Amino acid sequence: MNLKDLAHKLGVSRTTVSRALNGYPEVSERTRERVIAVAASAGYRPNPVARHLATGRADAIGIIYPLMCQRRLKPDPRFEVSPK
């Protein structure tokens, strides 16, 4: 079940369902309780991909490291320093 289906089942807009589920104060307590009850009985779970698209955040951490580490293990023979 998605947000659109849930809104259709309740007879309210998708915006109202979204705001009720996300705890916005603009939604009346009665509507919020109704939305939460129907969402729970229908087995509604938010789609994380849709949430990431809507918020513009992935909540991920990236690690960048140089690939030059391999060169340190195998020095380039053109740059070897000969001992004196």
Break the chain into its structural domains and give their ranges.
Answer: 3-79
16 contact partners, CB below 8 Å, separation of at least 6: 7, 27, 31, 35
**pLDDT at 63 > cutoff 90:** no
CATH class of the domain at 3-79: mainly alpha
Residue 52: alpha-carbon gap to chain centroid: 4
Q: Say what the pLDDT of residue 24 is.
A: 95
What's the pLDDT tens digit per position in 18-42?
Answer: 999 999 999 999 999 999 999 999 9
Q: What is the mean pLDDT of the chain?
A: 85
Question: What's the mean pLDDT in 3-20?
Answer: 94
